[in-house]
Structure 1
Amino acid sequence: MARFNHRGTRPAAGSPVTTTGERTRTHEGASALLRDARSELFLLSVAHTVGTDTFYEKAAERDDRFTTLVRQLAVEDPTWTSELLGWLRRDGNMRSASLVGAAEFVKARLDAAPAAGAAVGDGAPGSNRSVIDSVLQRADEPGELLGYWTGRYGRRLPKPVKRGIADAVRRLYDERSLLKYDTDSRSYRFGDVLELVHAAPHPDKPWQGELFRHAIDRRHGRGDAVPPQLRTLARRASLMALPVEERRGALHDPAKREGFAAAGMTWEALAGWLQGPLDKDAWEAVIPSMGLMALVRNLRNFDQAGVSDEVAARIAARLADAEEVRRSRMFPFRFWAAYQAAPSLRWGHALEQALNHSLAQVPVLSGRTLILVDRSPSMFPGYGYSTPNRSDIPLAEQAAVFGAALAARAQAPTLVEFGQSSRRIDVPRGASVLRLVEGFGQIPGTDIPSAVRRHYAGHDRVVVVTDEQTRPGWLPSNCHGYGDGMPETLIDDLVPKRVPVYMWNMAGYREAALPSGGGNRHALGGLTDAAFRMIPLLDAGRDAHWPWEPARD
């Protein structure tokens, strides 16, 4: 009788998020494992909204855990940490966490040794300077980083911070960004940043010297005269000179409407210019120059203003454009949020197309797949903590979008929502992801083992989308609570070792409900294409690596 060479045998595959074997307990009291420092930081990074309470962690506690891990690994493993931070802002699209991480990376390296990183040339990949530069991807972020640094460590700026910010300023500052982000609401205006870091104009941008001088003049109240080389600023100044009572009439002048885009007029700026709400004419004037994210966030406003079907059709065409969706770098659940907020039938199909484009890397899973989606209270904002999560899209909704996307593309899916109890959701052939998500509810408690026990029936793989903070598993028929002497049921024991189990961690908590890193037990994190690509790799017995590392054969 064959013990090892039997049908279904596959090579053992390794994955990067690894548990150490050290035991702990979940926040709900179930047996759990700790992860190594790199794995803990990665899962926390891709879920971390700085300064925000979560169900089980206060903001200060969570922020401290994040900065402690960054500072530890900045010294112990600076190459890996610098690569994480660059990827986190670029592909992970996590803004605040990457800015804080870069600042703490540099501070820890300088505290460890003033010459830390001397082996890496200033500005080379992995240097303190390049890490600062790598996380600054939008023109308001140099000021954001300065605000964090000076608020935490004072006004003295180390050279790597100054030089990294200066590199980013030369790359990011232009006329449109000055108009959009250089406002009185910012503590550090563009002029302040320039005076602090002494950024020189980029040699390939001859207009940048005039822009820098004008930004400093604006900051000190002497920027009324716009240099003629700065044409976008000059066009905006011309629009601002128009009397307020004549501005709505200008919306009907084709020449002036076409000039809005040339003047860098965003929809927010247009509302300020009109000094009142945007009506149908105003929206239709600015829609052609709006980015996809701004369009998606304003679909309900377009309906309320009565935007024409012709204009709506052009918006829908942009939502259906796969390349435009890719360039927008929007998280898929943003399209679900727009679908909820703007229930007009004219947006539904376009949002479904946009969502599918944003989920292009979700694999088509062969065979039978059990997909368990956590709908317990800890996945929703406002339960059990005083300051609700500021995100307008709770973890439960994000989990439902990804679980539904996997189910809609799988060959034979079993889609289940669970809390303390569980319920199967029907997945018809050709199912709409948006319609599937509408079918989810909310279930008290968190019991992953019981959901696995109830629904696992020889599936080829199991995917659990959750925050991992399960209660100890029990049999509902003969268990009435904790402390009754029943042995604890572990998730790992409920699925044969030859069957892969993928624990998709949504919240970045420290405690792991499942061993991971090998043995067909894997933890995934981050809502990016890179995470989705790991499943078929691991299914095929091929090692998966950190998402910024190149694919290997």
Structure 2
Amino acid sequence: MRFNFSFRKNKPAPVLNHEGALAYQLTPALELYAAVATAALSDQFYETAGTRLQRLRELVRQNDPRFVAQLAVYAREQLYLRSVPLVLAVELAQVHRGDVLVSRLVARVVQRADEITELLAFYAVANQRQGPKTLNRLSKQLQKGLALAFNRFDGYQLAKYDRAGQVRLRDALFLVHPQAKSAAQQALFDQLVRGELPTPYTWETELSALGQQQFASAAERQTAFRRKWETLIGSDKLGYMALLRNLRNILEADVSAAAVEQVVAALTDAGAVARSKQLPFRYLAAYRELLPLRSGYTALVLQALETAIGHSIQNLRGFGAETRVVVACDVSGSMQQPVSQRSKVLLYDVGLVLGMLLQSRCGHVVTGMFGDTWKRVALPKGQVLRNVQEFYRREGEVGYSTNGYLVVQDLRQRREVADKVMIFTDCQLWDSTGQGTTLAQEWREYRRTVAPQARLYLFDLAGHGNVPVQVKPENGVALIAGWSDKVFDVLQALENGGSALTEIEKIEL
């Protein structure tokens, strides 16, 4: 056995990022926020899903329970995330007792019937149990919260989400014993137990039934699907997300001009956009699906998508014509990773979409991308998705390293004053030239010699827990994390003297 008999105070080990470059560790609260806001719980370039999950569990224990609960609600209701709030609720139940915080949290974040079974499935994993029969010692606070959630769902919702899996809704009903609010609800619970809930009407069931029919010819089949899509569009039974995901199918079905007009009207309705709570990159995914189509209506629907995504940040303030802004997008190799296992959208795409959304609201703006080099790219305003595609087409022009310091070095060498420098990145910056230049050094020198009032905003799209510049108001550096348009609400909070945590701490439980 070896012992260290030195009485000298050891210096803390330097923080290194995944590229081996010097970095700065975030506070536990900021680290948990960044990890949650960027959590798809799927493998990423630098971190596997298991590693991210273990880090989330450790961070829950390092933070105040009330903050963890507020963050879980923020993630569900503001960032539109589903799985990670359930993880936070289960982990919080492991370490916090003595009040109703956990039960109220569970009732708040479980907003779909299938989230009841998803939470129980994760509880089984977290407690190393297998199958519903091993969950009979469920945490009392989780049990109470799930019982409250059960009371909110009607027969349609229960039937729609009663799916096969490790835990079924029937199993959950036996585990949590919700008290029915009425005789009618008790009848629904009884039907669920017997497996007799009526099959709910959905657009999926309509199309599935049609797909199983036999047709005399391909033309007859085409006509049937065209009429079915026109009926669904006219009935308003297609939700916003369903419409967004089926634009290609609708145009390929060759629906009528009147139906296309209805689609465009639905897509561009500002109220519908707000209510739909779509992550901005969903519009990019839909846009790309349409680009190869030869339909005469493709251009019209592409423009509708531009209008729809433009509604996301109409109320952003603090970016008048006189505000000098730099928007820099990381297009390095580590950013070429999908946001989840089933998605075609990359972290790279998320950064570009958010960057171009911001560009669309700025009066005085420089936009560009960095990898081995930093390149300014001037693009027209008002074409967010088209501009993203232009960046995507040109990304190879700057290489695939992560030399983010070049963005600020370029400003310093030009002696160009910027009020706000926005960098969209996974924060794993380094100097591939071997000279050891850092963003922290360049930022310090830029503020000292060129623009003392400049502010640097790091938009963290990966949440690895460390950043290339110390996040402190006195350094003029702020952190914003996540993939939703709510990052701009955090930006607004920063304008008002707050921080990324200010919006979270507003949550009432």
TM over 0.5: yes
User: Structure 2 residue aligned with 1:327, among 272, 275, 296?
Assistant: 275
CA-based RMSD of the aligned residues comes to: 2.4
1:509 and 2:467 equivalent? no
User: Structure 1 residue aligned with 2:419, among 448, 460, 483?
Assistant: 460
Given that residues 31 and 472 in structure 1 are in contact (C-alpha distance below 8 angstroms), is that contact kept between their aligned partners in structure 2?
Answer: no
Question: Within 5 A, what are the aligned runs for 1:89-488?
Answer: 89-109=76-96, 116=97, 118=98, 120=99, 122=100, 127-153=101-127, 154=129, 155=135, 156-171=137-152, 173-183=153-163, 185-203=164-182, 207-218=184-195, 223=196, 233=198, 264-276=200-212, 279-287=225-233, 288-343=236-291, 344-363=298-317, 365-366=319-320, 367-381=323-337, 389-428=341-380, 430-441=381-392, 442=395, 443-455=399-411, 457-472=416-431, 481-482=433-434
Structure 1 pair 284–178 and aligned structure 2 pair: CA distance change class (3 A) = farther
Structure 1 pair 388–152 and aligned structure 2 pair: CA distance change class (3 A) = closer
Given that residues 370 and 404 in structure 2 are in contact (C-alpha distance below 8 angstroms), is that contact kept between their aligned partners in structure 1?
Answer: yes
Higher helix share: 2
Structure 1 pair 152–48 and aligned structure 2 pair: CA distance change class (3 A) = same
Query: Counterparts of 1:521 and 1:133 in 2: how far apart (Å)?
Result: 36
Structure 1 pair 187–282 and aligned structure 2 pair: CA distance change class (3 A) = farther
**Amino acid across the alignment from 1:418:** F
Query: Counterparts of 1:470 and 1:202 in 2: how far apart (Å)?
Result: 55
Query: Counterparts of 1:345 and 1:400 in 2: how far apart (Å)?
Result: 22
Q: How many residues align?
A: 455
Given that residues 67 and 505 in structure 2 are in contact (C-alpha distance below 8 angstroms), is that contact kept between their aligned partners in structure 1?
Answer: no
Given that residues 372 and 463 in structure 1 are in contact (C-alpha distance below 8 angstroms), is that contact kept between their aligned partners in structure 2?
Answer: yes
Paired position in structure 2 for 1:244? none
Return the offset for 1:303: 1.3
- The DSSP-based 3-state class of the residue aligned with 2:385 is helix
- Superposed CA offset, 1:44-73 (max 9, x none): 0000112x1111112211111111112332
**Amino acid across the alignment from 1:437:** V
Paired position in structure 2 for 1:70? 60
Given that residues 417 and 425 in structure 1 are in contact (C-alpha distance below 8 angstroms), is that contact kept between their aligned partners in structure 2?
Answer: yes
Given that residues 427 and 436 in structure 1 are in contact (C-alpha distance below 8 angstroms), is that contact kept between their aligned partners in structure 2?
Answer: yes
Structure 1 pair 308–494 and aligned structure 2 pair: CA distance change class (3 A) = farther
TM-score (normalised: structure 2) = 0.84
Query: Counterparts of 1:108 and 1:544 in 2: how far apart (Å)?
Result: 25
Return the offset for 1:540: 5.9
Given that residues 285 and 345 in structure 2 are in contact (C-alpha distance below 8 angstroms), is that contact kept between their aligned partners in structure 1?
Answer: yes
Given that residues 354 and 485 in structure 2 are in contact (C-alpha distance below 8 angstroms), is that contact kept between their aligned partners in structure 1?
Answer: no
Return the offset for 1:406: 1.1
Query: Counterparts of 1:546 and 1:411 in 2: how far apart (Å)?
Result: 27
Aligned-pair identity in percent equals 29
- The DSSP-based 3-state class of the residue aligned with 2:264 is helix
Given that residues 283 and 307 in structure 1 are in contact (C-alpha distance below 8 angstroms), is that contact kept between their aligned partners in structure 2?
Answer: yes
Return the offset for 1:265: 2.0
Structure 1 pair 369–170 and aligned structure 2 pair: CA distance change class (3 A) = same
**Amino acid across the alignment from 1:274:** L
Paired position in structure 2 for 1:12? none
Greater than 6 Å deviation, 4+ residue runs: none
Structure 1 pair 543–217 and aligned structure 2 pair: CA distance change class (3 A) = closer
Query: Counterparts of 1:491 and 1:332 in 2: how far apart (Å)?
Result: 31
Given that residues 93 and 139 in structure 2 are in contact (C-alpha distance below 8 angstroms), is that contact kept between their aligned partners in structure 1?
Answer: no
- Superposed CA offset, 1:287-317 (max 9, x none): 3301000100000011111122211211111
Return the offset for 1:362: 3.7
Query: Counterparts of 1:170 and 1:516 in 2: how far apart (Å)?
Result: 44
**Amino acid across the alignment from 1:303:** L
- Extract unaligned runs of 5+ from structure 1: 1-20, 110-115, 227-232, 237-263, 474-480
Query: Counterparts of 1:267 and 1:487 in 2: how far apart (Å)?
Result: 56
